[in-house]
Amino acid sequence: MQVNLKFTVRYDGTDFAGWQVQPDQRTVQGELERVLSQIASQPIRITGASRTDAGVHALGQVFSCHWPRAAEPQRLAKALSKMLRPEIRIENAEEAPPEFDARKSARGKRYAYTLSLTPHADPFSARYAWHVPWPVDVARLAALARRFEGEHDFAGLQAGGAAPTRTTVRTLHSVHVREGGTVGPCDAKGLFHIEFHGDGFLYKMIRNVTGTLVDSARGIVPEGRIDELLVSPGPYHGHTAPPHGLTLLGVEY
């Protein structure tokens, strides 16, 4: 009897070419499908809620798959984690309704972009935070972040080369800046997180928003550039923040 399963997974994206399967590339989806297929003794294909880019991390990525027979989800999760390398860990597994699809059923997502605002890079945050060595006005950064909240056409903040979408209109419920946090084996200094909560995100949209915010908070891009981008047909031409500072926190259903 085939069952539909829902998994929550966390991973360090540093050494992966992103989530989605790609020929001759090591990807998170590829590793999960490889091990699941070994356990099932037949090919297993999975659907992820978010196609994170190369170098992007996740604490709460969700994927679903059809399992060929009855299964104990938690037992399967433990077996899967044991067979995977340490960069990927299964946080939870459960049986889902037959119609559940990790991508199509998603109603919202939360991401955090981590900035390291210290004169010199901290070795314990270097893999997970964008070190910005220039002076950044954090109060201005927080105020400007609020400008992106609400429903907008974010075409002007979508990177070129994106797959066609039905619409580029998205709603950001909140965008706020939070100080502090722990990264690596100890408390890293000078960390700030830009936290995004929205119903969906376009290709590299968060990294483009972050790059724009940092440049505006540094005073090298005028505030009016944000208003221009929110009415631009795109694609984005500006500073794209590097991928390693971005983490998918969770998916809402």
pLDDT at 181: 65
At residue 71 the predicted structure's pLDDT band, cuts being 50, 70 and 90, is confident
Task: Name which CATH class applies to 108-252.
Answer: alpha beta
Report DSSP state, residue 36.
H
pLDDT average, residue stretch 99-123:
94
Nearest to 97 by CA among 89, 105, 107: 105
Cut 0.75: pTM above it: yes
Residues assigned a catalytic role = 53
- The structural domains of the chain, with segments of one domain joined by +, span 3-96, 108-252
pLDDT average, residue stretch 21-33:
96
pLDDT average, residue stretch 13-42:
96
Per-residue pLDDT of 146-166, as tens digits, reads 999 999 999 999 999 888 889
| Dihedral sign from CA coordinates of 124, 128, 130, 135 | negative
pLDDT at 66: 96
Preceding amide of 43 cis, omega within 30: no
Q: What percent of the chain has pLDDT over 90?
A: 87
pLDDT average, residue stretch 94-116:
97
Query: Considering the domain 3-96, what is its CATH architecture?
Result: 2-Layer Sandwich (3.30)
Q: Residue 89: helix, strand or coil by DSSP? A: strand
Above 60 in pLDDT, residue 186? no
